[in-house]
Amino acid sequence: MTEESLPPLTERLSALRWLRQNLFSSWGNSLLTVLAAWLLWVSGKSLLIWTFVDARWQVVAANLRLLLIGQYPAEQAWRLWISMLLLIFLTGNSLGLWTKSRKFLAALAIFPLALALIPFEMEQRLWLLGLALAGALGWLAGHSAGARTSSRSGTSRAFENVVIVGWLIWIPIFILLLRGLTLEGEGWMPLVTTNLWGGLLLTFLLTIVAIVVSFPLGVLLALGRRSELPVVRWFSIGYIELVRGVPLIAVLFMAQLMLPLFLPAGVTVDRVLRAAVGITLFSAAYLAENVRGGLQAIPKGQFEAAYALGLGGFQTMLFIILPQALRLIIPILVGQFIALFKDTALVSIVGLFDLLGIAKTVLAQPEFLGYQREVYAFISLLYWVISYGMSYLSQQLEIALNVGKR
Amino acid sequence: MISKSSVPFWRNERVLQVLGQVIFFLLVFLSGYYIYSNMLVGLQKQGTTLGFSFITGLAGFDIGESLMEYTRESSYLQAFQVGLLNTLFVSGVGILFSTILGIILGVARLSANFLVNRLAAFYLELMRNLSLLVFLIFWYLAVFLKLPKVKEAIIWPGQIFWTNRGIGIPWGIPTDSFPAYCWILFFSLLLAIGVGYGLYERGRRTGRPPLTLLWMALTFLAAAAIGWFALPRPPFEWNFPYVKGLNLSGGKIISPEFMALTSGLVLYTAAFVGEVVRAGIQSVSKGQVEAARALGLNGFQTLHLVIFPQAMRVIVPPLTSQYLNLAKNSSLAVAIGYPDLFYVSSTIINQSGRAVEMIALVMLTYLAMSLLTSAFMNWYNQKIRLVER
C-alpha cells in the first residue's frame, strides 16, 4: 500500500439541472417524459384506488389458512411450524457461516416479525416470534463458528459438514413430519394423506422435491451428453431434446394419465407423487443443458493437470471439474429454480390443489363467487414476492461469496 | 512394450467401454420393454389396443374458434388440425408482437431518460417474476371477463366495442372487385422487389447502403394505394360491429379467450425479449458507438448500421429460446378455454379414451414445431454471424 487512489471526481447536480439533464435534455426527450408521466399517473392512480378502496380483501383474510396450507388439519399445523423452525435455523447457520454480512441477521429476524403484524391469531404470532429467534440464533451460532475460521481450523470444517448434513436430512424430516409417522390416522402424529396437502405448502413441497431430485439427474444427463460412449451420448441427447421440445403441461398430463399404465397392475402411485415425477423429469433436461454450459467453460488444461497428477476420469470429474463448473453456473441455476417454482402452478390443471388450485376452490364457494380479482391478485403477489426474494437473495449471496471474482 | 495378451480383458479399456455401452443399452431397452408390456396389459384390461384408426372417427364436439371448416360431424383428425392451426396462429401473432414490444422495452430500459428507464425496469421486474399461468388466468377472468356486458359496451372511436363477449372491430368484406385487387397487390409486390433489387445493387456499387426495406415497403404501399382508388369500386367494404340482442354482430369479433391468451403471452414474453435485447445492445462495445459518431453518423444511423447488426449476433440464440417458450406456453390455453392444440387433444382424449396415442401425437407435434423453429433460427444465425477472414 504505497499510495491511496482517490475516487474520480463526480459532478454534483442541483435538482433543477438533474431534471434538465435526465428528463428534458431535448424536445423528443421531454415528449417521452410527459408520455411516461401520463402513463404512470393513469395506471398508478387506478391501481391505488382499486387496492385501497374498491378491493374487498376479506375474501383473502377469510381463506388465508386454506391458501397457505390447504386442507391440512389445523390441529396438526404445529408440524409445519417445526419444519419451518428447522429450516430457518439451518438458513441462519449457513448464512452466518459462509457470509460475513450482518444484513442477513437483520433480515432473518425482521422478516418473521413483520409477518406477525398481519392480524393472525396469538398462536401463530408466537410461532412467528419463534421463527425470528431461531433464525437469529442460527445465524449467531454459524457466525461464531465461522469467526474462528480465518485459518480454517478443524472445528469449523466439522461445523460446515454438520450444516451440509443438516440440509440433506432436513428434506426427509420435512416430508415425514408432513406425512406423519403412523400408518393409520391415529396416534401421536397421525397420517395426513397427500390429498389434504395444498396451497403454498404443496407449491413449496413440489418445488423442493423437484430441485433436489432433478439436480443429480441433470448432472448425470449433462455428463452423459459429453460422454465418449456413443450409446450413452445419444440417449442423453435424445432425452434432453425430446423433453425440451414439449410443453410442461404435456409432460404433466403424461405423468397423470400414463404413469399408472406403465407400472404393473396393482401398483398405484399417489397423484402428488405423479406430478412431482413429471416436474422432476422435465426440469432435469433443462438443468442438464445449464450444467453442460458450465462444463464447457472449464479449460482443457484442468483435465490435463488432473490426469498429470494421476487422478482417474471419475475422480477428475468429481473433485476438479464439477465443483468449478457448478460454481460458475450458480446464478443460472437459481434462475432455473425460480422458473421451476413458477411452473409448479401448472399442476392445478391436472387437478392438484396447489396455490393456484386452492384459489380456484376458494372462488367456487358460493359466498365468494365474484372475487376473482382479489384472490388472483393476492396469489400473483405471493408468487412475485417469493420469486423476487429468491433472485434478490441469490444476488446478495453472490456479492457476499464473491462468486464472480475468483 | 506390453503385448495385447498381457492385459486381461476386464482391465482392457476398449473392451470395458463396449461392455459398458452394451449393458447400458440393455438396461434402457429392458426397462422400455417392461413399461411397454405393462402398458399393453393395462390397455387390454381397459378393452382397447394401440392404433391410430380411431382418428378418422366422428369427433362429435364443437370447437369455439376455428380457422378452417369444422363441425361436430368432422373427424378427430380435423379437430386436431383445427387445434394445430390455432396454436400456430397464436404463436405467430404472439411472436410478432412480443418482438416489437420487447425491442421497445429493451431500448427503453437503456434510455437516457430517467423516467422511461425506470418505468421499463419496473415492468421487466414485475413481469419476469410472475407465474405465467396465474397471470393468464388473472388476465382472462379478472380483466377480459370483467369487461361490461354487451348492452353497456365501452365504445372506442372507430366503432371498437369492448365487451365481456369479445372485442368487436370493423372489418373489411371483399366486394366483386376483390379478385382484380389481388392482381394489383401481386404486381405491387413485384414492383417493390424490383425497387429493392435496384437499391441493393446501387448500394453495393457505391458503398452507401440506402434503407432498402423501407423504400420497398413504401413502394408497395404506394402502388397498393393507387390501385385501391383506381378500381371502379373499392375491393373492401367496411363492416362495422353492432349490438344485436345480447350479442355483438357484424365486423370482426375477437373472442375474450383469444385476446387474453395472446395479449397475456405477449406481455409476459416481451419482458424476457426486452432483457435479451438489452443484453445484446450492451454487448456492443462503447468504442463502436463513439467511432460511429466520429464518422458523422447520426443517432438513428448508429443504431441501424452499427449497433443492431452487431447486437443481433448476441440476441438471436436466446431470442430463439424465447420464441420456443412462447410456442410451448401457448398450451396454457387449456386453462382459459381457448381451443389450441393441447386443449383440443385433451378433449379428444376424454371423448375417445385414447390417451397414449394422443399424448404421443401431441408431443411429436410440439417437438416438430420446436425443431423447425430452431432449424430456421440457426440458419438465420449462420447468415448474420461474424464473417472472419
pLDDT tens across A219-259, in order? 999 999 988 889 999 999 999 999 999 999 999 999 988 88
Per-residue CA distances from B190 to B196, B277, B361 (Å): 10, 33, 41
Higher pLDDT residue, B387 or B204?
Answer: B204
Quick one: B374 and B319 in the same domain? yes
Quick one: A152 and A213 in the same domain? no
Residue A364 lies in a domain: yes
Residue B326 — very low, low, confident or very high, per pLDDT cuts 50/70/90? very high
- Range in A75-89, A127-141, A186-200, A284-298 the model is least confident about: A186-200
Cα–Cα dist B339/B355, whole Å: 18
Question: Angle, nearest 10°, between helix axes A122-147 and A77-98?
Answer: 30
Q: What's this model's pTM, rounded to 2 decimal places?
A: 0.87
Test B134 with A345 for CB contact under 8 angstroms: yes
Q: What is the pLDDT of residue A406?
A: 45
Final residue of a structural domain among A132, A160, A192: A192
Final residue of a structural domain among A154, A173, A192: A192
Q: What is the pLDDT of residue A403?
A: 56
What CATH number corresponds to the domain at position B362? 1.10.3720.10
Report chain A residues whose CB lies below 8 A from the CB of B133: 345-346, 348-349, 356
DSSP-assigned beta bridge partners for residue A197: A70
Quick one: A172 and A316 in the same domain? no
| Mean pLDDT value across residues A193-200 | 87
Q: What is the pLDDT of residue A213?
A: 93
Quick one: B297 and B362 in the same domain? yes
DSSP-assigned beta bridge partners for residue B247: B244
Q: What is the pLDDT of residue A340?
A: 94
Does residue A388 surpass a pLDDT of 60? yes
Test B355 with A258 for CB contact under 8 angstroms: yes
Cα–Cα dist A252/A255, whole Å: 5
Write out the three cell numbers for A44.
398508478
Quick one: B27 and B82 in the same domain? no
Report chain A residues whose CB lies below 8 A from the CB of B142: 372-373, 376-377
Please tell me whether residue B386 adopts helix, strand or coil conformation. Answer: coil
Cα–Cα dist B93/B265, whole Å: 10
Quick one: A142 and A204 in the same domain? no
- Nearest CA of chain A to the CA of B350: how many Å? 11
Q: What is the pLDDT of residue A291?
A: 93
Cα–Cα dist B360/B51, whole Å: 11
- Where does chain B have alpha helices with state H? 13-46, 76-109, 114-128, 132-137, 178-206, 212-230, 256-283, 286-294, 299-301, 308-329, 341-352, 355-384
Test A23 with B133 for CB contact under 8 angstroms: no
Cα–Cα dist B360/B354, whole Å: 10
Quick one: B26 and B100 in the same domain? no
pLDDT digit string, tens, across residues A340-358: 999 999 999 998 999 999 9
Residue numbers of the domain that contains A121: 63-192
Q: What is the pLDDT of residue A1?
A: 45
Report chain A residues whose CB lies below 8 A from the CB of B112: 22, 25, 29
Write out the three cell numbers for B142.
379478472
CB B189 within 8 A of CB B227: no
Interface mutation target, options B113, B265, B349, chain A, most CBs of A under 10 Å = B113
Quick one: B96 and B36 in the same domain? no
How buried is B77 (Cβ within 10 angstroms: 0-12 exposed, 13-18 middle, 19+ buried)?
Answer: middle
Residue B60 region by backbone torsions, left for phi larger than 0, else alpha for psi between -120 and 50, else beta: left
Closest partner residue to A262 (CB to CB) among B28, B38, B135 is B38
Residue B183 lies in a domain: no
For residues A248, A254, A256, A260, the Cα torsion angle rounded to the nearest 10 degrees is: -150
Does residue B61 surpass a pLDDT of 60? yes
Residue B212 lies in a domain: no
Quick one: B352 and B268 in the same domain? yes
Q: What is the pLDDT of residue B387?
A: 65
**What angle is formed at CA A181 by the lines to CA A175 and CA A187, rounded to 5 degrees?**
140
Test A247 with B331 for CB contact under 8 angstroms: yes
CB B302 within 8 A of CB B293: yes
Quick one: B284 and B378 in the same domain? yes
Report chain B residues whose CB lies below 8 A from the CB of A389: none
Q: Which of A173, A83, A180 is nearest to A134 (CA)?
A: A83
- Nearest CA of chain B to the CA of A242: how many Å? 7
- For the four alpha carbons of B278, B284, B286 and B292, in that order, the dihedral sign comes to negative
Quick one: B274 and B370 in the same domain? yes
Quick one: A206 and A120 in the same domain? no
CB A398 within 8 A of CB A330: yes
Quick one: A132 and A245 in the same domain? no
Test A372 with B142 for CB contact under 8 angstroms: yes
Quick one: B261 and B342 in the same domain? yes
What CATH number corresponds to the domain at position A239? 1.10.3720.10
Q: What is the pLDDT of residue B302?
A: 86
- Range in A281-295, A316-330, B45-59 the model is least confident about: B45-59
Whats the size of chain B, residue-wise? Answer: 389
How buried is B176 (Cβ within 10 angstroms: 0-12 exposed, 13-18 middle, 19+ buried)?
Answer: exposed
Quick one: B269 and B342 in the same domain? yes
| b/e burial code for range A210-228 (CB count within 10 A of at least 16 → b) | bbebbbebbbebbbbbebe
Closest partner residue to A250 (CB to CB) among B21, B116, B366 is B366
Residue A249 lies in a domain: yes
Quick one: A250 and A342 in the same domain? yes
Report chain A residues whose CB lies below 8 A from the CB of B366: 245-247, 250
Residue B249 lies in a domain: no
Residue A106 — very low, low, confident or very high, per pLDDT cuts 50/70/90? confident
Residue A302 neighbours by CB distance under 10 Å: 14
Report chain A residues whose CB lies below 8 A from the CB of B146: 372-373
Please tell me whether residue B94 adopts helix, strand or coil conformation. Answer: helix
Higher pLDDT residue, A243 or B11?
Answer: A243
Residue B148 — very low, low, confident or very high, per pLDDT cuts 50/70/90? confident
Q: How many domains does chain A have?
A: 2
Q: Output DSSP code: residue B246.
A: T
Q: What is the pLDDT of residue B383?
A: 79
Quick one: A215 and A179 in the same domain? no
Residue B323 lies in a domain: yes
Report chain B residues whose CB lies below 8 A from the CB of A247: 328-329, 331, 342, 366
CA atoms within 13 A on the CB side of B199: 16
Residue B4 — very low, low, confident or very high, per pLDDT cuts 50/70/90? low
Q: How many CB pairs under 8 A join A and B?
A: 150
The residue in chain B having the minimum alpha-carbon distance to the alpha carbon of residue A44 is B119
Question: Angle, nearest 10°, between helix axes A230-245 and B355-384?
Answer: 100
Residue B196 lies in a domain: no
Cα–Cα dist B94/B67, whole Å: 17
Final residue of a structural domain among A158, A192, A226: A192
Interface mutation target, options A18, A20, A349, A361, chain B, most CBs of B under 10 Å = A349
Residue numbers of the domain that contains B362: 76-130+256-384
Q: Output DSSP code: residue B140.
A: I
Residue A77 lies in a domain: yes
- Range in B120-134, B183-197, B221-235 the model is least confident about: B221-235
Closest partner residue to B113 (CB to CB) among A22, A258, A380 is A22
Residue A20 lies in a domain: no
pLDDT digit string, tens, across residues B152-163: 888 888 788 888
Cα–Cα dist B52/B98, whole Å: 37
Give ipTM to 2 decimals: 0.87
CB B223 within 8 A of CB B191: yes
Quick one: A284 and A395 in the same domain? yes
Cα–Cα dist B347/B79, whole Å: 10
Quick one: B279 and B358 in the same domain? yes
Residue B61 lies in a domain: no
- Nearest CA of chain B to the CA of A399: how many Å? 20
**What angle is formed at CA B133 by the lines to CA B130 and CA B134, rounded to 5 degrees?**
60
Cα–Cα dist B271/B173, whole Å: 36
Closest partner residue to B331 (CB to CB) among A36, A249, A338 is A249
| Mean pLDDT value across residues A151-162 | 70
Quick one: B11 and B101 in the same domain? no
Quick one: A113 and A232 in the same domain? no
Q: How many domains does chain B have?
A: 2
- Range in A342-351, B240-249, B306-315 the model is least confident about: B240-249
Residue B225 lies in a domain: no
Higher pLDDT residue, B227 or B91?
Answer: B91
Report chain B residues whose CB lies below 8 A from the CB of A248: 328
Q: What is the pLDDT of residue B147?
A: 87
Cα–Cα dist A329/A335, whole Å: 10
Please tell me whether residue B185 adopts helix, strand or coil conformation. Answer: helix
Q: Output DSSP code: residue B254.
A: E
Closest partner residue to B41 (CB to CB) among A39, A257, A265 is A265
Quick one: A120 and A245 in the same domain? no
Residue B311 lies in a domain: yes
Quick one: A219 and A134 in the same domain? no
Q: What is the pLDDT of residue B5?
A: 57
Residue B338 — very low, low, confident or very high, per pLDDT cuts 50/70/90? very high
Quick one: A242 and A180 in the same domain? no
Residue A108 lies in a domain: yes
The residue in chain A having the minimum alpha-carbon distance to the alpha carbon of residue B350 is A257
Mean pLDDT score of chain A: 86
Q: What is the pLDDT of residue A357?
A: 93
| Mean pLDDT value across residues A3-28 | 76
> Which residues have C-beta within 8 Å of that of residue A100, sequence separation ≥ 6?
A146, A400
